[in-house]
Amino acid sequence: MQKGFPTISKEEQTRITTVVVRVAAMLLEYGAESRLIEQLSSRLGVALGCTSIEISLIPSAIVLTTLIGDSSVTTTRRAHEQPINMSIVHQIVTICIAAEKNPRDIMMVETKLANIHSNPYPAWLIVPMIGLSCAAFSHLQGADWAGFCITFLAASVGMMVRRALSSRNYSLLIVFAFTAFVCTMIASLSFYQGLSATGSIVLSSSVLLLVPGFPYINSMLDAFKGYISMGWGRWTQATLLTLMSSLGIMLAMGLLDIKGW
């Protein structure tokens, strides 16, 4: 028993560690930036009664130590690849703030963590919306209305393909390459008998649904705030995704032998 600290047994400390590392691993998997992961897990740990939390992050795993007085518990978790989900990150932020308002209430945190839901948008909403997004891109770049419609079609079908492949648990790299291939195949309809005068704009905006915006921005944010290895890891991931999409585009264009190639 340490002086100055309320009695927390080793079992209780292990329980706290399990909860905190679960929160940290979820944040890492669903795409929070490193500083947020470190801040949230140490705030949660302190709220649950720890002296401090030490954490070490690499892109695929997490090592976390809770300190209570002199006794420390360390644990490691592997982070699995998940689609980015800001809704879950937001729910975890809310849980941490609730835990700070009622400190030492581990039961409440555990129940709330078990009730986290991923809140996905329904397919009938997201597929036309992504089609419309890419069509809006092509309109902003100056495509004509025939090009607008072709972009809408290509991006919607691409989003359906992406969802279908993701739900079958293919690697994200394969999903991106194949989606880019399908999008380019459909978008090259605009060259068929001069259907649209602005074919290259249609081709470039119909694959924009594959822009890895979150990995790029997260990698910059991490690198600038001192998490160099996380920044490099996420940068590599984003670059690989971009390369795989270009591979899909090149494959489709080579197959169709489009003018300008």
Binding footprint of another protein on the chain (CB under 8 A): 31-33, 35-36, 39, 43, 83-90, 93-94, 97, 118-121, 125-126, 129-130, 132-134, 136-137, 139-141, 200-201, 203-205, 207-209, 211, 213-214, 216-218, 220-221, 224-225, 246, 249-250, 253, 260-261
**Smaller CB separation from another protein, 104 or 139:** 139
**Smaller CB separation from another protein, 164 or 220:** 220
**Is 31 exposed, middle or buried, given 0-12, 13-18 or 19+ CB atoms closer than 10 A?**
middle
Residue pair 248/184 in contact (Cβ under 8 Å)? The answer is yes
**Smaller CB separation from another protein, 58 or 243:** 243
Q: Write down the least CB distance from residue 6 to another protein, Å.
A: 25
CA 117 to chain centre: 16
Q: Write down the least CB distance from residue 4 to another protein, Å.
A: 23
Q: Write down the least CB distance from residue 30 to another protein, Å.
A: 9
Q: Write down the least CB distance from residue 118 to another protein, Å.
A: 7
The token pair at 181 is 């291939």
Amino acid at 99: A
Q: Work out the angle at residue 234's Cα, subtended by the Cα atoms of residues 183 and 116, and round it to the nearest 5 degrees.
A: 85
Q: Write down the least CB distance from residue 180 to another protein, Å.
A: 11
Please, which residues have CB within 8 angstroms of residue 161's CB and are 6 or more apart in sequence?
A: 178, 179, 182
**Smaller CB separation from another protein, 50 or 73:** 50
Euclidean distance between the first and the last CA atom of the chain, given in angstroms as a whole number: 74
**Smaller CB separation from another protein, 76 or 119:** 119
3-state secondary structure of 58: strand
3-state secondary structure of 63: strand
